[in-house]
Amino acid sequence: MHGYLTLDERLDVLRAVDTERTWYSLDDKRVCTVCDRIFTGRQIDITATGAARFSLRCPTEDCPSDHRHWFFVHANPWQAFSLQELAPTYDGAGSLAVEHDGADEAKGAGIRGHRA
Ligand SMILES: [Zn+2]
Give the pLDDT confidence of 32-89 residue by residue, as tens digits: 999 999 999 999 999 999 988 999 999 999 999 999 999 998 755 555 554 444 444 4
Together in a domain, 16 and 28: yes
Together in a domain, 98 and 51: no
What pLDDT was estimated at residue 57? 96
Q: Are 73 and 37 in contact (CB under 8 A)?
A: no
Span from the CA of 12 to the centroid of ligand 1 (angstroms): 21
Mark which of 57, 73, 89 sits at the end of a domain: 73
Span from the CA of 5 to the centroid of ligand 1 (angstroms): 22
Together in a domain, 5 and 58: yes
Identify the CA nearest to 56 among candidates 97, 5, 112, 110. Answer: 5
Q: Whole-structure pTM over 0.75, yes or no?
A: no
Print the domain residue range for 64. Answer: 1-73
Span from the CA of 93 to the centroid of ligand 1 (angstroms): 42
d(CA 49, CA 32): 22
Q: What is the pLDDT of residues 103-113, one digit of tens each?
A: 455 555 555 55
What pLDDT was estimated at residue 84? 47
Torsions phi, psi of 86, nearest 5? -60, -50
Together in a domain, 47 and 95: no
d(CA 116, CA 94): 33
Together in a domain, 53 and 99: no
| Number of domains the chain contains | 2
